[in-house]
Structure 1
Amino acid sequence: MGFIKLVVFGFIGLTVIYFSVSLYSRSVRKERLEDEFDAENPDGDRDARDAFVTAGLQAYDASIRPKLIGLVYVVPTLAIGAIVYMINAN
């Protein structure tokens, strides 16, 4: 029963961490795109800026970074599994 609680609450905790890191990473990328557009076009059009940011975020979504954030689930699961195996193997 304790193992099931660990899995359930661990999954909930990892999900919260995953969404937090994902939202933070996306917001940092969006801010960087906005700053890049503002530096290149000091008197830029608002619609052009929005289109530039949208295109950049679509490229971000297709990149590997959002997929790597999924390691938030994999690494702790493997670490806990390895620890449990080592403890029980001795």
Structure 2
Amino acid sequence: MGLIRLVVFGFLLLSVIYLCVSWYSRSVRREKLEKQWDAENPDGHDMVGRQTYITQGMIDYNDSIRPKLLLLIYVVPALAVGVILYMTNAN
């Protein structure tokens, strides 16, 4: 019963951490794109072009490997717990 509780609460905790890190990573990338646009277009009049640039940049970000690496937030702790359980119960 304790293992089931560990898995459920661990998954919930890791999901909260994943969502927070994912949100932070996306916001940092969006801010970087906004700064790049502002540096390349100092007049700041083309708001439609700016939004298109940022949207395309975020689509490119979603297709990159970085958001997929965030899934390691689930994998690494699960492997660590598995190894600890194995080493504790091994003869």
How does the TM-score come out when normalised to structure 1?
A: 0.97
Gaps of 5+ in 1: none
Instruction: State the match for 2:62 in structure 1.
Output: 61
How far apart, CA to CA, are the structure 2 residues paired with 1:3 and 1:83? 13
**Structure 1 vs Structure 2: percent identity of aligned residues?**
62
- Counterparts in 2 of 1:7-46, with a 5 A limit? 7-44=7-44, 45-46=46-47
Q: What secondary structure sits across from 2:43 in the alignment?
A: coil
1:2-42 CA deviation, whole Å, 9 max, x = no partner? 11100000000000011111010000000000000000101
Cα RMSD of the aligned pairs, angstroms, is 0.7
How far apart, CA to CA, are the structure 2 residues paired with 1:69 and 1:7? 19
Equivalent pairs, count: 90
How far apart, CA to CA, are the structure 2 residues paired with 1:77 and 1:43? 50
Amino acid at match of 2:48: D
Deviation at 1:46, TM superposition (A): 1.0
Instruction: State the match for 1:52 in structure 2.
Output: 53
1:45-72 CA deviation, whole Å, 9 max, x = no partner? 1111100000000000000000000000
Amino acid at match of 1:5: R
How does the TM-score come out when normalised to structure 2?
A: 0.96
Gaps of 5+ in 2: none
The question of 1:3 aligning with 2:6 is answered no
